[in-house]
Protein backbone atom coordinates (compact mmCIF):
# COMPACT_ATOMS: atom_id res chain seq x y z
CA UNK A 1 0.00 0.00 0.00
CA UNK A 2 1.34 3.39 -0.89
CA UNK A 3 0.74 6.85 0.44
CA UNK A 4 -0.90 7.79 -2.84
CA UNK A 5 -3.52 5.09 -2.60
CA UNK A 6 -4.30 6.15 0.94
CA UNK A 7 -4.99 9.61 -0.21
CA UNK A 8 -7.52 8.47 -2.78
CA UNK A 9 -9.82 7.22 -0.02
CA UNK A 10 -11.98 9.94 1.21
CA UNK A 11 -12.46 9.73 4.88
CA UNK A 12 -15.82 10.71 6.18
CA UNK A 13 -15.29 11.23 9.89
CA UNK A 14 -19.00 11.09 10.71
CA UNK A 15 -19.66 7.88 8.87
CA UNK A 16 -17.72 5.92 11.43
CA UNK A 17 -20.13 7.07 14.09
CA UNK A 18 -23.18 6.09 12.15
CA UNK A 19 -24.87 2.77 12.51
CA UNK A 20 -24.54 0.42 9.57
CA UNK A 21 -28.19 -0.42 9.85
CA UNK A 22 -31.16 1.39 11.25
CA UNK A 23 -31.13 1.47 15.08
CA UNK A 24 -32.95 -1.36 16.87
CA UNK A 25 -34.53 -1.60 20.24
CA UNK A 26 -32.08 -3.05 22.80
CA UNK A 27 -32.20 -6.79 22.67
CA UNK A 28 -34.33 -8.39 25.36
CA UNK A 29 -32.36 -10.42 27.89
CA UNK A 30 -34.87 -13.27 27.55
CA UNK A 31 -34.21 -13.49 23.83
CA UNK A 32 -30.55 -14.08 24.63
CA UNK A 33 -31.62 -16.72 27.07
CA UNK A 34 -33.82 -18.29 24.42
CA UNK A 35 -31.01 -18.23 21.84
CA UNK A 36 -28.65 -19.91 24.24
CA UNK A 37 -31.31 -22.40 25.21
CA UNK A 38 -31.94 -23.32 21.57
CA UNK A 39 -28.27 -24.08 21.12
CA UNK A 40 -28.36 -26.64 23.91
CA UNK A 41 -29.23 -29.87 22.13
CA UNK A 42 -30.02 -31.76 25.31
CA UNK A 43 -32.34 -29.04 26.52
CA UNK A 44 -34.25 -28.98 23.26
CA UNK A 45 -34.51 -32.75 23.32
CA UNK A 46 -35.54 -32.75 26.99
CA UNK A 47 -38.06 -30.00 26.57
CA UNK A 48 -39.42 -31.61 23.42
CA UNK A 49 -39.78 -34.94 25.09
CA UNK A 50 -41.58 -33.45 28.07
CA UNK A 51 -43.89 -31.59 25.74
CA UNK A 52 -44.54 -34.79 23.82
CA UNK A 53 -45.25 -36.87 26.91
CA UNK A 54 -47.46 -34.17 28.41
CA UNK A 55 -49.46 -33.95 25.21
CA UNK A 56 -49.57 -37.73 24.97
CA UNK A 57 -51.05 -38.18 28.42
CA UNK A 58 -53.43 -35.27 27.99
CA UNK A 59 -54.66 -35.98 24.49
CA UNK A 60 -53.94 -39.72 24.44
CA UNK A 61 -57.31 -40.79 25.82
CA UNK A 62 -59.07 -38.99 22.92
CA UNK A 63 -56.99 -40.76 20.30
CA UNK A 64 -56.71 -44.14 22.01
CA UNK A 65 -60.06 -44.37 23.72
CA UNK A 66 -59.78 -47.77 25.39
CA UNK A 67 -60.89 -47.85 29.01
CA UNK A 68 -57.75 -48.61 31.07
CA UNK A 69 -59.81 -50.36 33.75
CA UNK A 70 -61.69 -52.61 31.32
CA UNK A 71 -60.96 -56.26 32.00
CA UNK A 72 -60.84 -58.79 29.22
CA UNK A 73 -59.77 -62.01 30.85
CA UNK A 74 -59.83 -64.00 27.61
CA UNK A 75 -57.21 -61.75 26.08
CA UNK A 76 -54.97 -61.59 29.10
CA UNK A 77 -51.17 -61.69 28.96
CA UNK A 78 -50.90 -60.60 25.33
CA UNK A 79 -47.44 -59.47 24.25
CA UNK A 80 -46.79 -56.18 22.49
CA UNK A 81 -46.94 -56.43 18.71
CA UNK A 82 -43.22 -55.78 18.25
CA UNK A 83 -42.57 -59.17 19.88
CA UNK A 84 -43.56 -60.62 16.49
CA UNK A 85 -40.26 -59.42 15.07
CA UNK A 86 -38.33 -62.13 16.86
CA UNK A 87 -41.07 -64.50 17.95
CA UNK A 88 -43.77 -65.07 15.36
CA UNK A 89 -45.66 -67.46 17.62
CA UNK A 90 -46.12 -64.96 20.44
CA UNK A 91 -49.65 -64.18 21.53
CA UNK A 92 -50.27 -60.68 20.25
CA UNK A 93 -53.35 -58.66 19.49
CA UNK A 94 -53.34 -55.93 16.87
CA UNK A 95 -55.96 -53.93 18.75
CA UNK A 96 -53.72 -54.06 21.85
CA UNK A 97 -50.41 -52.80 20.42
CA UNK A 98 -48.60 -52.72 23.80
CA UNK A 99 -50.16 -55.98 24.96
CA UNK A 100 -52.37 -56.67 27.95
CA UNK A 101 -51.71 -57.40 31.62
CA UNK A 102 -52.63 -60.44 33.67
CA UNK A 103 -56.28 -59.39 33.84
CA UNK A 104 -56.46 -58.41 30.18
CA UNK A 105 -56.27 -54.65 30.67
CA UNK A 106 -54.84 -52.71 27.76
CA UNK A 107 -51.30 -51.60 28.58
CA UNK A 108 -51.21 -48.68 26.17
CA UNK A 109 -54.24 -47.04 27.70
CA UNK A 110 -52.85 -47.82 31.16
CA UNK A 111 -49.60 -46.12 30.21
CA UNK A 112 -51.53 -43.05 29.13
CA UNK A 113 -53.78 -42.95 32.18
CA UNK A 114 -50.89 -43.85 34.47
CA UNK A 115 -48.77 -41.12 32.94
CA UNK A 116 -51.46 -38.59 33.62
CA UNK A 117 -51.56 -39.49 37.29
CA UNK A 118 -47.81 -39.84 37.68
CA UNK A 119 -47.00 -36.60 35.88
CA UNK A 120 -49.63 -34.71 37.84
CA UNK A 121 -48.47 -36.11 41.17
CA UNK A 122 -44.80 -35.82 40.25
CA UNK A 123 -44.87 -32.22 39.07
CA UNK A 124 -47.19 -30.89 41.75
CA UNK A 125 -45.44 -32.63 44.61
CA UNK A 126 -42.03 -31.65 43.27
CA UNK A 127 -43.00 -28.00 42.86
CA UNK A 128 -44.56 -27.97 46.30
CA UNK A 129 -41.53 -29.49 47.96
CA UNK A 130 -39.22 -27.22 45.97
CA UNK A 131 -41.07 -24.08 46.95
CA UNK A 132 -41.23 -25.00 50.64
CA UNK A 133 -37.60 -26.05 50.57
CA UNK A 134 -36.38 -22.94 48.79
CA UNK A 135 -38.43 -20.60 50.96
CA UNK A 136 -37.26 -22.20 54.19
CA UNK A 137 -33.68 -22.41 52.97
CA UNK A 138 -33.50 -18.79 51.84
CA UNK A 139 -35.17 -17.49 54.96
CA UNK A 140 -32.93 -19.52 57.25
CA UNK A 141 -29.78 -18.67 55.35
CA UNK A 142 -30.40 -14.95 54.99
CA UNK A 143 -32.11 -14.01 58.23
CA UNK A 144 -29.97 -15.06 61.15
CA UNK A 145 -32.87 -14.80 63.58
CA UNK A 146 -34.89 -17.39 61.71
CA UNK A 147 -32.00 -19.76 61.12
CA UNK A 148 -32.07 -21.64 64.42
CA UNK A 149 -35.81 -22.10 64.49
CA UNK A 150 -36.21 -23.11 60.85
CA UNK A 151 -33.29 -25.51 60.89
CA UNK A 152 -34.52 -27.20 64.06
CA UNK A 153 -37.88 -27.52 62.30
CA UNK A 154 -36.06 -29.15 59.41
CA UNK A 155 -34.40 -31.57 61.84
CA UNK A 156 -37.82 -32.41 63.22
CA UNK A 157 -39.30 -33.12 59.80
CA UNK A 158 -36.27 -35.18 58.84
CA UNK A 159 -36.72 -37.39 61.87
CA UNK A 160 -40.45 -38.01 61.59
CA UNK A 161 -41.21 -41.61 60.63
CA UNK A 162 -43.13 -41.46 57.36
CA UNK A 163 -45.45 -44.43 57.76
CA UNK A 164 -47.14 -43.31 60.99
CA UNK A 165 -47.31 -39.79 59.57
CA UNK A 166 -49.16 -41.14 56.55
CA UNK A 167 -51.56 -43.13 58.66
CA UNK A 168 -52.34 -40.13 60.81
CA UNK A 169 -52.90 -37.96 57.74
CA UNK A 170 -55.20 -40.55 56.25
CA UNK A 171 -57.17 -40.93 59.45
CA UNK A 172 -57.65 -37.21 59.84
CA UNK A 173 -58.04 -35.96 56.31
CA UNK A 174 -59.21 -38.71 53.98
CA UNK A 175 -62.88 -38.45 54.77
CA UNK A 176 -63.20 -34.64 54.45
CA UNK A 177 -61.08 -34.62 51.29
CA UNK A 178 -63.05 -37.48 49.79
CA UNK A 179 -66.30 -35.73 50.56
CA UNK A 180 -65.13 -32.50 48.91
CA UNK A 181 -63.03 -33.71 45.99
CA UNK A 182 -64.18 -37.26 45.32
CA UNK A 183 -62.17 -40.43 45.96
CA UNK A 184 -59.49 -39.74 43.34
CA UNK A 185 -59.24 -35.98 43.69
CA UNK A 186 -59.10 -36.22 47.48
CA UNK A 187 -56.37 -38.84 47.28
CA UNK A 188 -54.45 -36.72 44.80
CA UNK A 189 -54.35 -33.79 47.21
CA UNK A 190 -53.41 -36.03 50.10
CA UNK A 191 -50.60 -37.72 48.18
CA UNK A 192 -49.18 -34.49 46.80
CA UNK A 193 -49.21 -32.81 50.18
CA UNK A 194 -47.69 -35.81 51.91
CA UNK A 195 -44.91 -36.23 49.36
CA UNK A 196 -44.36 -32.49 49.34
CA UNK A 197 -44.07 -32.01 53.07
CA UNK A 198 -41.88 -35.06 53.59
CA UNK A 199 -39.31 -34.19 50.93
CA UNK A 200 -38.54 -30.47 51.15
CA UNK A 201 -35.87 -30.75 53.84
CA UNK A 202 -32.94 -31.61 51.63
CA UNK A 203 -33.59 -28.66 49.35
CA UNK A 204 -33.91 -26.40 52.36
CA UNK A 205 -30.60 -27.51 53.83
CA UNK A 206 -28.79 -27.17 50.51
CA UNK A 207 -30.19 -23.75 49.70
CA UNK A 208 -29.44 -22.52 53.19
CA UNK A 209 -25.83 -23.74 52.97
CA UNK A 210 -25.33 -21.93 49.68
CA UNK A 211 -26.99 -18.75 50.90
CA UNK A 212 -24.84 -18.72 54.03
CA UNK A 213 -21.75 -18.64 51.83
CA UNK A 214 -23.16 -16.29 49.19
CA UNK A 215 -24.40 -13.60 51.54
CA UNK A 216 -20.86 -12.96 52.77
CA UNK A 217 -19.62 -12.32 49.23
CA UNK A 218 -18.66 -8.87 48.01
CA UNK A 219 -21.52 -8.37 45.55
CA UNK A 220 -24.08 -8.85 48.30
CA UNK A 221 -22.16 -6.44 50.49
CA UNK A 222 -22.22 -4.00 47.59
CA UNK A 223 -25.93 -4.44 47.04
CA UNK A 224 -26.60 -3.95 50.72
CA UNK A 225 -24.42 -0.88 50.89
CA UNK A 226 -26.44 0.86 48.20
CA UNK A 227 -29.56 0.20 50.24
CA UNK A 228 -31.12 -2.66 48.35
CA UNK A 229 -33.92 -4.19 50.38
CA UNK A 230 -33.49 -7.78 51.64
CA UNK A 231 -36.32 -8.91 49.37
CA UNK A 232 -34.62 -7.48 46.34
CA UNK A 233 -31.27 -8.94 47.33
CA UNK A 234 -32.84 -12.36 47.65
CA UNK A 235 -34.70 -12.08 44.38
CA UNK A 236 -32.08 -10.43 42.20
CA UNK A 237 -28.80 -11.64 43.69
CA UNK A 238 -29.20 -14.72 45.80
CA UNK A 239 -31.82 -16.83 44.05
CA UNK A 240 -30.18 -16.69 40.60
CA UNK A 241 -27.00 -17.98 42.22
CA UNK A 242 -28.61 -21.00 43.83
CA UNK A 243 -30.51 -22.01 40.73
CA UNK A 244 -28.29 -24.93 39.87
CA UNK A 245 -28.64 -26.96 43.08
CA UNK A 246 -32.36 -26.20 42.98
CA UNK A 247 -32.51 -27.58 39.45
CA UNK A 248 -30.79 -30.76 40.61
CA UNK A 249 -33.23 -31.01 43.51
CA UNK A 250 -36.10 -30.57 41.09
CA UNK A 251 -34.89 -33.35 38.83
CA UNK A 252 -34.28 -35.76 41.67
CA UNK A 253 -37.48 -34.65 43.39
CA UNK A 254 -39.59 -35.52 40.37
CA UNK A 255 -38.22 -39.06 40.32
CA UNK A 256 -38.70 -39.42 44.05
CA UNK A 257 -42.29 -38.18 43.88
CA UNK A 258 -43.26 -40.57 41.09
CA UNK A 259 -41.73 -43.55 42.91
CA UNK A 260 -43.03 -42.57 46.35
CA UNK A 261 -46.55 -42.43 44.98
CA UNK A 262 -46.36 -46.13 44.13
CA UNK A 263 -45.06 -46.96 47.61
CA UNK A 264 -47.98 -45.05 49.09
CA UNK A 265 -50.55 -46.98 47.16
CA UNK A 266 -48.89 -50.17 48.32
CA UNK A 267 -49.44 -49.02 51.88
CA UNK A 268 -53.05 -48.38 51.05
CA UNK A 269 -52.69 -44.63 51.24
CA UNK A 270 -52.61 -43.99 47.53
CA UNK A 271 -55.09 -44.07 44.70
CA UNK A 272 -57.63 -46.92 44.50
CA UNK A 273 -55.96 -50.13 43.37
CA UNK A 274 -57.48 -50.10 39.90
CA UNK A 275 -56.28 -46.56 39.21
CA UNK A 276 -53.08 -46.94 37.20
CA UNK A 277 -49.91 -44.93 37.73
CA UNK A 278 -46.46 -45.57 36.28
CA UNK A 279 -44.98 -46.36 39.66
CA UNK A 280 -47.70 -48.87 40.46
CA UNK A 281 -47.49 -50.51 37.03
CA UNK A 282 -43.76 -50.96 37.54
CA UNK A 283 -44.17 -52.38 41.05
CA UNK A 284 -46.94 -54.77 39.97
CA UNK A 285 -44.91 -56.06 37.04
CA UNK A 286 -41.71 -56.88 38.95
CA UNK A 287 -42.68 -60.49 39.88
CA UNK A 288 -43.29 -61.28 36.20
CA UNK A 289 -40.36 -59.38 34.72
CA UNK A 290 -38.79 -62.46 33.16
CA UNK A 291 -41.81 -63.53 31.13
CA UNK A 292 -43.17 -60.07 30.37
CA UNK A 293 -40.20 -57.68 30.38
CA UNK A 294 -42.21 -55.03 28.52
CA UNK A 295 -44.44 -54.53 31.54
CA UNK A 296 -41.52 -53.30 33.62
CA UNK A 297 -39.68 -51.67 30.75
CA UNK A 298 -42.52 -49.47 29.53
CA UNK A 299 -43.26 -47.68 32.81
CA UNK A 300 -39.59 -47.83 33.78
CA UNK A 301 -38.49 -46.15 30.55
CA UNK A 302 -41.29 -43.63 30.77
CA UNK A 303 -40.25 -42.58 34.27
CA UNK A 304 -36.55 -42.52 33.37
CA UNK A 305 -37.05 -40.52 30.20
CA UNK A 306 -39.27 -38.01 31.95
CA UNK A 307 -36.68 -37.53 34.66
CA UNK A 308 -33.90 -37.33 32.05
CA UNK A 309 -35.95 -34.82 30.12
CA UNK A 310 -36.34 -32.63 33.18
CA UNK A 311 -32.65 -32.99 33.88
CA UNK A 312 -31.59 -31.84 30.41
CA UNK A 313 -34.16 -29.10 30.44
CA UNK A 314 -32.78 -27.96 33.79
CA UNK A 315 -29.21 -28.08 32.44
CA UNK A 316 -30.18 -26.02 29.43
CA UNK A 317 -32.10 -23.49 31.48
CA UNK A 318 -29.25 -23.09 33.90
CA UNK A 319 -26.72 -22.59 31.09
CA UNK A 320 -29.04 -20.15 29.37
CA UNK A 321 -29.66 -18.18 32.54
CA UNK A 322 -25.99 -17.93 33.47
CA UNK A 323 -24.59 -14.84 31.74
CA UNK A 324 -21.04 -16.14 32.16
CA UNK A 325 -21.76 -19.25 30.13
CA UNK A 326 -24.16 -17.55 27.73
CA UNK A 327 -22.50 -16.62 24.46
CA UNK A 328 -19.65 -19.05 24.89
Partner 1 sequence: MILKTILLGAIATTAFASTAMADGHEGARARDGEVKIIYWQAPSILNPYLSGGTKDIESSSLVIEPMGRYDQNGDLVAYLAAEIPTVGNGGVSEDLTSITWKLKEGLKWSDGSDVTSADLVFTAKYCMHPEGGCAQLSKYDGVESVEAIDALTTKITFNQPKPNPYGPFMGGQSPIIQATQFADCLGARAPECTEANFGPIGTGPFVVTNFKPNDVIQMVANENYRTAGKPAFASLTFKGGGSAEASGRAVMETGEFDYAWNLQLAPDVISKMAQGGKGQPISAFGALVERLEMNLTNPSPNLPPETRATVAEPHPFLSDINVREALSMAINRQELVDVGYGDAGRPTCNLVPAPALYASDNTGCLTQDIAGANAKLEAAGWVKGSDGIRAKDGVRLSILYQTSTNAVRQDFQALIKNSWNQIGVETELRNLDASVFFGGDPGSPDTFQKFYADVEMYANVFDGTDPQAYLAAYRCGGEPKPSSQWQGENINRFCDPAYDAMIDELARTGDLAKRGELGKKMNDMLTKDSFTIVPLVDRGRVSAHANSLGGVVLNVFDSELWNAADWYRIGN
Partner 2 sequence: MLTFTIRRLILSIPTLLFISIVIFALLQLAPGDPMAQVPLTVPPEVKQKMREALGLGAPVHIQYLKWLNQFFIVEPQFLIDWMTRNSFLFGWLPDTQLGMVYDVELEKLVPQQRNISWQTRSPIMDIVIQRIPQTLWVVGLAYLVGILIALPIGIYSAYRHYSVFDQTGTFITMIGFSIPPFFTGPLLIVIFSVTLGWLPSIYDTTHVVNDWTSFKYQLSQMILPVMVLALQTTAQISRYMRASMLDNLNQDYVRTARAKGLKEGVVVMVHVLRNSMIPVITVIALGVPSIFGGAIITENVFGVNGIGQLLITALFANDIPMVMTITFIFAIMIVAFNLIADVLYGVLDPRIRYD
CB of 265 to partner 1, least distance (A): 8
What Cα–Cα distance (Å) separates residue 247 from each residue in 77, 138, 306, 319?
40, 15, 15, 11
- 293 belongs to the binding site for partner 1 (CB under 8 A): no
Query: Could you tell me the smallest distance in angstroms from the CB atom of residue 121 to partner 1?
Result: 18
The binder of 252, among partner 1, partner 2, none, by C-beta within 5 to 8 A per type, is partner 2
For residue 164, the minimal CB distance to partner 2 (Å) is: 4
Count of C-beta atoms within a 10 Å radius of residue 160: 12
Q: How far is CA 23 from CA 26, 30, 318, in A?
A: 9, 20, 31
In terms of Cα–Cα distance, which of 244, 245, 243, 222 is closest to 233?
Answer: 222
- Rule CB under 8 A: is residue 102 a binding residue for partner 1? yes
Provide long-range contacts, Cβ within 8 A and 24+ apart, for 81-84.
83/294
Distant-in-sequence, close-in-space partners of 194: CB < 8 Å, separation ≥ 6: 165, 166, 169, 264, 269
Query: Hey, which residues does 92 pair with through a beta bridge?
Result: 79
255 binding partner 2? (CB under 8 A): yes
Q: Does 222 bind partner 2 (CB under 8 A)?
A: no
Site for partner 2 in 235-254 (CB under 8 A): 241, 244-245, 247-248, 251-252
Minimum CB distance to partner 1 smaller for 68 or for 316: 68
Which of 96, 210 has the CB closer to partner 2? 210
Partner in contact with 102, chosen from partner 1, partner 2, none, beta carbon below 5 to 8 Å by kind: partner 1
Q: How many CA atoms lie within 13 A of 288 on its CB side?
A: 12
Q: Pick the piece of the chain touching partner 2 (CB under 8 A) from 13-21, 84-92, 173-181, 287-295.
A: 287-295
| 106 and 237 Cβ atoms separated by less than 8 Å | no
Site map for partner 2, 167-196, x if CB under 8 A? xx--x-------------------------
Q: Which does 61 bind (CB under 5 to 8 A by kind): partner 1, partner 2, none?
A: none
Nearest C-alpha neighbor of 122 from the set 242, 273, 252, 244 = 252
> CB-wise, 72 or 322, nearer to partner 2?
322
Sole window of 50-58, 87-95, 124-132, 298-306 interacting with partner 2 (rule: CB under 8 A): 298-306
Binder of partner 2 out of 296, 313, 320, 321 (CB under 8 A): 296
Using a 10 angstrom Cβ sphere, with 0-12 exposed, 13-18 middle and 19 or more buried, the burial of residue 295 is buried
Nearer to partner 1, 71 or 248 (CB): 71
Q: Residues interacting with partner 2, by CB under 8 A? A: 42, 144, 147-148, 151-152, 154-156, 158-161, 163-165, 167-168, 171, 201-202, 205-206, 209-210, 212-213, 216-217, 241, 244-245, 247-248, 251-252, 255, 258-259, 262, 279, 282-283, 286-287, 289-290, 296, 300, 303-304, 306-308, 311-312, 315, 318, 322, 324-325
Q: Which residues in this chain contact partner 1 in the complex, by CB under 8 A?
A: 69-71, 73, 77, 102-103, 167, 170-171, 174-175, 179, 183, 265-269, 272-274, 284, 287-288, 290-291
Amino acid sequence: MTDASLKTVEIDPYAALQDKEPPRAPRNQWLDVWDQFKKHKGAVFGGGFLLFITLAVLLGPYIWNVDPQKLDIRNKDARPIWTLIWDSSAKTLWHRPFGTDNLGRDILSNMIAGGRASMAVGWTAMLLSLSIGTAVGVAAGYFKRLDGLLMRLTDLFLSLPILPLLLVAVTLFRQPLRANFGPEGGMFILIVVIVGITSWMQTARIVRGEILALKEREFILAARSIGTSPGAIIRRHLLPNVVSPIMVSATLGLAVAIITESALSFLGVGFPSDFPTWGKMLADAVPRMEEYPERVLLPGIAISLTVLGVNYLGDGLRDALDPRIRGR
